Structure 1
Amino acid sequence: MTAPLRSISETTLRGQRLMDTLEPGLSVRVGDRLSELDPGLERLVTDYAFGDVLSRPGLDIKTREMLTVAALTAMGNAPGQLELHMRGALNVGVTRAKLLEIVIQMALYAGLPACMNGVTAYRAVLAAADQNK
């Protein structure tokens, strides 16, 4: 017996498209990992974060990813999300040099420890990207 197909809202589709723009297959990987814990958690991330907030028309995705990298660097406590959004930033056209400048600028506003954590994430993201070439 197959499970009934659940209808997918336009918000969910918009969120999934944006996630997959940042990194191909991201929506499925995140959706699978979150829905096994709670289906509402998948919707929260896909619909709210990506479908409602990050898809708003006021800023383009490249600018949003630069801002997200800055915020996550400044927070200093979300290394997995920082690396994800650094990869996403590179995938939507942010250059390696600009990505590093974002991290360096956070030393001024968030402190050197946050900047150094950002540098660690930056190095990991570039190493993985270079290895996958």
Structure 2
Amino acid sequence: MMLQQNGANERFERGLRALSEIDGHAGEKVVNQLANIAPDFARYVIEFPFGDIYSRPGLDLRSREIATIAALAALGNATPQLKVHIEACLNVGVSREEIVEVLIQMAVYAGFPAAVNGLFAAKEVFAARGDAGRERAA
């Protein structure tokens, strides 16, 4: 990881561990890209969402990622982040079918355009992972 933390603190280290477990290289890539333009913001991304929120004991990582993709799909304007978190869902044990169901559910609360866009984002992530040819069971 390019981002250096002078006098690394527990929050930052906890955030790096969570980021690595959840997002793997995709998360590191985002943080490194941010570090080139706004290193303080890149540090905030590690410390706050991952060091503080994702590390809380109240929900497991599966549940947190399901909530995250639902929220990002509902926003309708965060496709790059949605793709990263769809990948993260797969990394923490959420199945392809569960992801599809979460995105279909968004049609009820966020509208059909949000659901369609979320499903297309998922299709791209699945294709990149070599899952594109799998069809849902009837």
Aligned to 2:53: 53
Q: CA deviation at 1:33?
A: 1.3
TM-score by length of structure 1 reads 0.89
The unaligned stretches of length 5 or more in structure 1 are none
Aligned to 1:31: 31
8 Å Cα contact 1:19-1:26 kept in structure 2: no
Q: How many residues align?
A: 128
- Alignment root-mean-square deviation, CA: 1.7
The unaligned stretches of length 5 or more in structure 2 are 132-138
How many percent of aligned residue pairs carry the same amino acid? 41
8 Å Cα contact 2:73-2:103 kept in structure 1: yes
Aligned-partner Cα distance in 2 for 1:117–1:111: 10
Aligned to 1:66: 66
Flag as ranges the 4+ runs of structure 1 deviating above 6 A. none
Aligned to 2:42: 42
Aligned-partner Cα distance in 1 for 2:74–2:55: 23
TM-score by length of structure 2 reads 0.86
8 Å Cα contact 2:23-2:85 kept in structure 1: no
8 Å Cα contact 1:16-1:27 kept in structure 2: no
Listed one character per residue, the Cα deviations across residues 16-60 of structure 1 (whole Å, up to 9, x for unaligned) are 111111232345423321121122101111101111112111101
> SS of 1:126's equivalent?
helix
